[in-house]
Amino acid sequence: MSVLQEAPVTEPTTDLVAVQDLYKYFPIHAGLLSRHIGDVRAVDGVDFSIAAGETLGLVGESGSGKTTVGRLLLRLLPATSGAAYFEGQNILKMTRAQVRRLRKDIQIIFQDPYASLNPRMTVGDIIAEPLHIHKLARGKDVDAKVHDLLRTVGLSAYHANRYPHEFSGGQRQRIGVARALAVSPKFIVADEPVSALDVSIQAQVVNLLQDLQDQFGLTYLFIAHDLSVVRHISDRVAVMYVGKLMELADREELYRQPLHPYTQSLLSAIPIPDPRVEGRRERIILQGDIPSPVNPPSGCRFHTRCPIAFERCITEVPEFKSYDGHYVACHAVEQLGGKQPEIRPTTKARTVPVA
């Protein structure tokens, strides 16, 4: 068995995080001999970067590979190939000892606040655990740090003696945020941190994350499927579909002029609070379901559901190209020289009667 060497510092970069040609295939085995019969192509050649202090929103349908990307950056999963740099070091080639030290700088906020907290531990012990692991405090300093973290996320110091089942979903997620903050990280992967919460609570947690970013200079990878939440917190937005990035652009640019047909369809599904406007709006309704990552479509992954697909889309994988900093992988956009292709809406939104 080969022993990994200390991962050297690689090419210098101004980005805190840089992902290059990242792949993650989960092998499928079957039969008495457990023969390898295929792969789940969860992440299939992804490139992006995140600057220090920036929030990159990663959106897409369920099964598109968003969570897998986040877990690869945390080394919770081994990558099939590619590179993921954090402060110039390739995370994927770090030794176990290096990864342990990396945990102090990179943390995660999990999706389900009901499953991510140990029900047998008090809140104080949950938040104090990373302090003990990384030897950042001891004795009374641990209690003082825990109480300070609880107050930072909007809870009270006396909550430290309670158990997770005594809290609501929003409060539990705040506890998860406090645990992530305990080691003073530089980068946090927020894996759909508000999707399991009530709408009224989602805004509170998102605002908390923004306040903490301003206060501590944090960098986020914010994974979500709710485009309205992503627009509120992100600086840039990346759209993912069946393991590949379809589009990546500045937040305002992407919402103002989405180039990829998939992004256009996602944005057309966001409800508008004004019933008069909503009733007149036309939507792009995609046909069929998201393809299986076990046997993804040839060419452009989206061509089986794309309303403007043509022959080239079926046979040729589109290049992820930049048009003045607006990245998109689409043959139609390439033919138009980076302009938005026109998609005819397939239906009108249901008109809501207004008194």
pLDDT in tens, 117-172: 999 999 999 999 999 999 998 888 999 999 999 999 999 999 999 999 999 999 99
Q: Could you tell me if 227 and 262 are in contact, meaning their C-beta atoms sit under 8 angstroms apart?
A: no
Dump pLDDT digits (tens) for 86-95: 999 999 999 9
Predicted confidence band of residue 1 (pLDDT cuts 50, 70, 90): very low
Handedness of CA 75, 80, 85, 91 (dihedral sign): positive
Retrieve residue 202's tokens. 């989602």
Tokens 């992004």 correspond to: 263
Q: Does 342 score more than 60 pLDDT?
A: yes
What pLDDT sits at residue 4?
A: 35
Residue % of the chain over a pLDDT of 70: 92
This prediction has a pTM of 0.89
Q: Are 284 and 264 in contact (CB under 8 A)?
A: yes
Percent above pLDDT 90 for the chain = 72
Residue with tokens 């006396």: 158
Q: Give the angle 51-53-57 at the CA atoms, nearest 5°.
A: 70
Q: For every residue of 180-228, which 3-state class applies, written as one string?
A: HHCCCCCEEEEECCCCCCCHHHHHHHHHHHHHHHHHHCCEEEEEECCHH
14, 51 contact by CB (below 8 A): yes
Write down the CATH number for the domain with range 15-105+185-348: 3.40.50.300
Q: Coil, strand, or helix at residue 257?
A: coil
Region 342-352: mean pLDDT is: 62
The total number of residues written for the chain in this structure = 355
With cut-offs at 50, 70 and 90, classify the pLDDT of residue 348. Answer: low
Return the structure tokens found at 94: 């770090």
Residue 265 has pLDDT above 80, yes or no: yes
- Cβ(351)–Cβ(279) below 8 Å: yes
Q: What are the helix (H) ranges across the chain?
A: 66-73, 96-102, 123-133, 140-152, 169-181, 199-216, 227-233, 251-256, 261-268, 275-280, 311-315, 331-335
Termini Cα distance of the chain: 74
Residue 7 is predicted with a pLDDT of: 37
Domain range summary for the chain, segments of one domain joined by +: 15-105+185-348
Identity of the residue numbered 353: P
How far apart are the C-alpha atoms of 35 and 231, rounded to whole Å?
45
Q: Cβ contacts of residue 158 below 8 Å, gap of 6+? A: none
User: Tell me: the pLDDT tens digits for 70-105?
Assistant: 999 999 999 999 999 999 999 999 999 999 999 999
